[in-house]
Amino acid sequence: MATLLKSKYLIPLLIAFAILFPVISQNDYYIHVMTLSFIWMIGVYGLNLLAGYAGYLSLAHAGFFAIGAYSLGLLTTKAQVNFWLALLLSLFITCVIGTLIGLVALRTKDAFFAIYTLCVGYIIYLVIDKWESLTEGVRGLIGIPAPSNIGPLSFEKPESHYYLVLFFLLFVILMMYRIVHSLTGRTYIAIRNSEDLALTIGISTMKNKLTVFVLSTFFAGLSGALYASFIRFIGPDIGYISITFDLLTFLLVGGIGTLSGPIVGTLIIVWLSQQLQFLQDYRMMIFGPVLTLLIIFYPGGLVGGAIEWKMKIKARKANTASRHLRKNELEKGSNTAAMKKQVKEG
Amino acid sequence: MEILVQQLFNGLTVGSVYSLVALGLTLVYGILHIPNFAHGALYMIGGYITLTMMTKAGIHYWLAIVVSILVVGLLGILMERLVFHPLKGAPPIHDKIAAIGIMLFLEAFAQYVWGAEYHTMPSPYGQVVEVFGLTFTVQRILIISGAIVVMILLNLFLKKTYIGATIIAMSQNREGANLVGINTNKVAMLTFFISGGLATIAASLSAPINLVFPGMGNLVILKAFVIIILGGMGSVPGAILGGYILGFTESLGATYISNDYKDIIAFVLLVIILSVKPTGLFVKGGR
């Protein structure tokens, strides 16, 4: 079992499980929930890259999620653009808006950045809500098409949609992996730990911050576009701040600044919410305190906590091993001393 | 001309409420450097408690406000003790998230206890007075005068009393204040008490002309953040001035630009300010 849990085997196992999930469960509702959590995960990865690695807490991510969703929705329903072209365009639109906002937002720091993005998020929400001639306002967009066929592949059935989303998720995870395990990823961590120091050692912080911000909005936009094509109906509520807080909760429960955190956190909270359906609007009465307690006692979330725990065990093992070694050496030492004594006396 | 005067009066009313909320926010930021996202939730709870005291316990408006100040003030102290104090040395991202957690909890809690529907707060001051052909409701006059009295009292407290001086000392230099024998823990708790109290006064005074509902703090807190950035994070006169500037801008914008977009004005204002000056207006030194 222990060898099975090594990451070398764990990752292919998890992927295999994800691929086989629709076959195993055969339950459309479970597949629906799973697809939805995969979509959220992509958005959470976006937030994780920015907040977890670069240390910039953006509270505007629901806005970018909504921009992705609405771009896709408007392009497909109102402009009758082909789905895949619309998807590409909506990602492009999100990135352009992300760049523009990032250019200004990233000049601010800490509390200012959080407040600035909070307000940007609110502006995006208000614009969607009030600009009725374009977005249909509170009525929302209805009839967003499912992804159109690619050759023989159709995405009408829940399973096929599930695989499509899984494909995008794996792509995002791979991208995240490559970013985090590269010099770029280290650069982001350097910026998080001390921006002034990073600047001093010759890192172009603005360029890096902008890249990470745009990448992060790209993920949020992708997540939103997939959401729109999956749920087929969107209203301005998806841009509201509470969605940002949802993403943040997923991220923190799993573990901010870790690669597997978004997966763990999203799965746990989404499935838990399904089990706690009766709580409905009151779920925050549980998740709010959980979020707060977590940040006090387990700032690394579940994954961060597990890593810390592993390190402790390792450290303890190393400790006992070195103690053994020292003990042996001491015994050897005393032996030689005794021998010397004997020689002297003899 | 009449519309203009009427709108200026409205701006004065709205600005008074904003200033009171922003004052509490700026005090906490100035002393503990926490952007307290849960401040809007304290405002909302304050409104509900005053309402409940009046309708359920049947006590007078003023007494209800006093009870509410005490309850929300204690809630503020609890927040400081249980959440922000343990997070004192943590990275800056943590206390923001913790504050968001508290906010989410309080909002869901209010919805659970009082329901999601909108309540109107009864006020013993529903009369209308007429001055120079312009009509003013007494409640609005009460908001303005109440806010000004509270601001003067707060200023006297901070400037003239020993305890007030310790608060100012701590906002200038926490370690220094500690070195000269100020109990920084007590000052932090006191600050949260005052902050909660100010939010409660703002909510209780303005509730009769607005409404009481779980999300009532959301917009107000966002605008309060805009104000303290406008007035300089941590600055008391800045918060007051910023509150009135925003109040006037909004009520004039609602009349002469568009009522639909009046809530957006504050945020656009902030975006412009931070675009030009990323550290906020009137910020002393680099923090």
Which two tokens mark A228? 């729109």
Q: How far apart are CA B114 and CA B107, in angstroms?
A: 10
Touching check for A111 and chain B: CB below 8 Å?
yes
Q: How far apart are CA B223 and CA B233, in angstroms?
A: 13
Give residue B154's pLDDT band: very low, low, confident or very high (50, 70, 90).
very high
Chain B residues 96-135 with a CB less than 8 Å from chain A: 96-98, 100-109, 111-112, 116
Q: How far apart are CA B255 and CA A50, in angstroms?
A: 40
Give residue B130's pLDDT band: very low, low, confident or very high (50, 70, 90).
confident
Q: In A, which residues are within 8 Å of B264 by CB distance?
A: 123, 126-127, 130
Tell which of B34, B103, B105 to mutate to test the A interface (max A CBs under 10 Å).
B105
Q: How far apart are CA B171 and CA B284, in angstroms?
A: 13
Backbone angles phi, psi at B127, to 5 degrees: -65, 165
Most confident among A157-161, A299-303, B149-153 (mean pLDDT): B149-153
Q: Around Cβ A327, how many Cβ atoms within 10 Å?
A: 10
> Cα–chain-centroid distance for residue B188?
17
Which two tokens mark A166? 């899984």
Give residue A2's pLDDT band: very low, low, confident or very high (50, 70, 90).
very low
A153 - beta bridge partners? A150
| Residue A143 vs residue A342, higher pLDDT | A143
Residue A331 has pLDDT above 50, yes or no: yes
Are the C-beta atoms of A320 and A272 separated by less than 8 Å?
A: no
| H/E stretch holding B28 | helix B2-32
Q: In A, which residues are within 8 Å of B90 by CB distance?
A: 295, 299
Q: In B, which residues are within 8 Å of A269 by CB distance?
A: none
- DSSP secondary structure code for residue A58 in this structure: -
Crossing angle between the packed helical segments A205-231 and A158-180, to the nearest 10 degrees: 170
Query: What is the tens place of the pLDDT at every residue in A203-252?
Result: 888 888 999 999 999 999 999 999 999 988 888 888 888 888 889 888 98
Touching check for A11 and chain B: CB below 8 Å?
no
Work out the average pLDDT over A188-199. 86
Q: What is the pLDDT of residue B133?
A: 72
Which two tokens mark B215? 């999300």
Query: What is the tens place of the pLDDT at every residue in B204-242?
Result: 999 888 888 888 888 888 889 888 888 888 888 888 998
| H/E stretch holding B43 | helix B39-55
Q: How far apart are CA A128 and CA A136, in angstroms?
A: 8
Work out the average pLDDT over A39-49. 93
| Residue A71 vs residue A158, higher pLDDT | A71
Which two tokens mark B72? 């929300």
Sign of dihedral through CA atoms A327, A330, A334, A340?
positive
Q: What is the pLDDT of residue A70?
A: 93
Q: Is the pTM of this model over 0.80?
A: yes
Q: In B, which residues are within 8 Å of A123 by CB distance?
A: 264, 267-268, 271
Q: Would you call A282 and B226 a contact, using CB atoms and an 8 Å cutoff?
A: no
Chain A residues 258-297 with a CB less than 8 Å from chain B: 281-285, 287-292, 295-296
Say which of B86, B105, B109 has its CB closest to residue A296.
B86
Residue B173 has pLDDT above 70, yes or no: yes
Q: What is the pLDDT of residue A344?
A: 60
Question: What does pLDDT average to over chain B?
Answer: 86
Q: In A, which residues are within 8 Å of B93 by CB distance?
A: 51, 55, 57, 256
Say which of A114, A123, A292 has its CB closest to residue B102.
A292
**How do beta strands A233-234 and A141-142 pair?**
antiparallel
Query: What is the tens place of the pLDDT at every residue in B255-266?
Result: 887 777 777 887
Say which of A118, A120, A288 has its CB closest to residue B105.
A288
Q: How far apart are CA A60 and CA A196, in angstroms?
A: 25
CB-based burial label for B54 (10 Å; 0-12, 13-18, 19+):
buried
Work out the average pLDDT over A5-24. 76
3-state secondary structure of A150: strand
**ipTM surpassing 0.85:** no
Query: What is the tens place of the pLDDT at every residue in A137-173?
Result: 778 888 888 887 777 777 777 788 888 899 999 999 9
Touching check for B70 and chain A: CB below 8 Å?
no
Give residue A334's pLDDT band: very low, low, confident or very high (50, 70, 90).
low
Residue B41 has pLDDT above 90, yes or no: yes
Q: How far apart are CA A84 and CA A90, in angstroms?
A: 10
Residue B28 C-alpha, separation from nearest chain A C-alpha, in angstroms: 13
Chain B residues 260-279 with a CB less than 8 Å from chain A: 260-261, 263-264, 266-268, 270-271, 274-275, 278-279
Touching check for A146 and chain B: CB below 8 Å?
no
Residue B52 C-alpha, separation from nearest chain A C-alpha, in angstroms: 21
Burial code (b: 16+ CB inside 10 Å, e: under 16) for B29-46 equals bbbbbbbbbbbbbbbbbb
Work out the average pLDDT over B33-60. 90
Work out the average pLDDT over B173-195. 88
Query: What percent of chain B is modeled with pLDDT above 90?
Result: 31
Touching check for B94 and chain A: CB below 8 Å?
yes
Residue B89 C-alpha, separation from nearest chain A C-alpha, in angstroms: 11
Residue B3 has pLDDT above 90, yes or no: no
| Residue B132 vs residue B118, higher pLDDT | B118
Query: What is the tens place of the pLDDT at every residue in B100-112?
Result: 889 989 988 998 8
Touching check for A116 and chain B: CB below 8 Å?
yes
Give residue A343's pLDDT band: very low, low, confident or very high (50, 70, 90).
low
Which two tokens mark B210? 């607005």
Half-sphere exposure of residue B3: CA atoms within 13 angstroms, side-chain side = 6
Residue A10 C-alpha, separation from nearest chain B C-alpha, in angstroms: 31
Q: What is the pLDDT of residue B283?
A: 59
| Residue B220 vs residue A341, higher pLDDT | B220
Touching check for A140 and chain B: CB below 8 Å?
no
Give residue B22's pLDDT band: very low, low, confident or very high (50, 70, 90).
very high
Q: What is the pLDDT of residue A336?
A: 63
Work out the average pLDDT over A170-184. 90
Helix intervals (H) in chain A: 7-25, 28-47, 61-77, 83-105, 110-130, 132-135, 158-180, 183-193, 195-200, 205-231, 241-254, 261-275, 283-297, 301-345
Touching check for A138 and chain B: CB below 8 Å?
no
Q: What is the pLDDT of residue A1?
A: 40
